[in-house]
Structure 1
């Protein structure tokens, strides 16, 4: 690693907005792998800014650290990831986001109607879930989970 590509943990913390303790934790989780200088101090790559920024974004979308680690495991070690490397990881990320968007739109569109939960407390439930027919599809709010009354036919 060239000296111009090295960063101290403090510089990395300032650039990413993360606490030093968080960066150390992410290091323990294998999300970044700094090298050590002759004095034993951590030296991070400039590309670790992007890696840790990705961690922050992925966490905002509900990804767990093990899931983030598995996505990042596809990135190369020892060299800065290229645009092509990030495109590969982003395709998987995009698929998940598209699914989450679809789920959120469905929830938004159906929130004020029968959700297929089996409570049968709304008059509309007598139309869409008479006698709790949705229970045949499984437990929980079946219509919010993607099932439709037509699935019972």
Structure 2
């Protein structure tokens, strides 16, 4: 790395708006990388600021750190090309549209679910679409992996 492009941990924290401890946490999770100078102090390439911005925005959208890491692992730690950002953006666009559609469905159907008071979930479009849980047998069933 070119030393004139390296930033100390305090400067990265100030410029990115996250605490130093958050930077250390992100680094421990493999979301960002640093190098060490001769005094064993962390040094970050300026491109880390863009990665941190993406991490923070994705977290606010409810994307898990594991998923963020999975996507960021496809990109280099140094400067990222416009094509690389385009590919990542497209992948996230699809994922976010799916999440938005699920949230809209939940929002639009939740009121009916709260007001119905049913104890059987035979016709519930939120928790048991097409009565798929009936295949598991009678009585209360654990509703894992039933998609909205």
> 2:109 aligns to what?
110
Change (3 A) 1:60 1:134: closer
Name the CA distance, whole Å, in 2 between partners of 1:105 and 1:30.
Answer: 33
Change (3 A) 1:22 1:134: closer
> 1:63 aligns to what?
63
Gap regions ≥5 residues in structure 2: 134-140
C-alpha displacement of 1:113: 2.1
Change (3 A) 1:75 1:134: closer
Name the CA distance, whole Å, in 2 between partners of 1:40 and 1:134.
Answer: 57
Which of structures 1 and 2 has the bigger CA Rg? 1
> 2:22 aligns to what?
22
C-alpha displacement of 1:66: 1.6
Q: What SS does structure 1 have at the residue aligned with 2:12?
A: helix
Name the CA distance, whole Å, in 2 between partners of 1:70 and 1:94.
Answer: 15
Structure 1 residues 40-60: Cα deviation after superposition (integer angstroms, max 9, x where no partner): 111101110011111111111
Name the CA distance, whole Å, in 2 between partners of 1:36 and 1:85.
Answer: 27
Q: Please, what is the CA RMSD of the aligned residues? A: 2.8
**With structure 1 as the length reference, what TM-score do the two structures score?**
0.74
**With structure 2 as the length reference, what TM-score do the two structures score?**
0.77
> 1:137 aligns to what?
132
5 Å-filtered alignment, 1:1-153, equals: 1-77=1-77, 79-114=78-113, 119-120=117-118, 136-138=131-133, 140=143, 145-146=147-148
Name the CA distance, whole Å, in 2 between partners of 1:64 and 1:54.
Answer: 12
Name the CA distance, whole Å, in 2 between partners of 1:110 and 1:90.
Answer: 30
Name the CA distance, whole Å, in 2 between partners of 1:5 and 1:94.
Answer: 31
Task: Give the number of equivalent residue pairs.
Answer: 133
Structure 1 residues 67-123: Cα deviation after superposition (integer angstroms, max 9, x where no partner): 11111100014x3111211111122211111011111221222222247x9x427xx
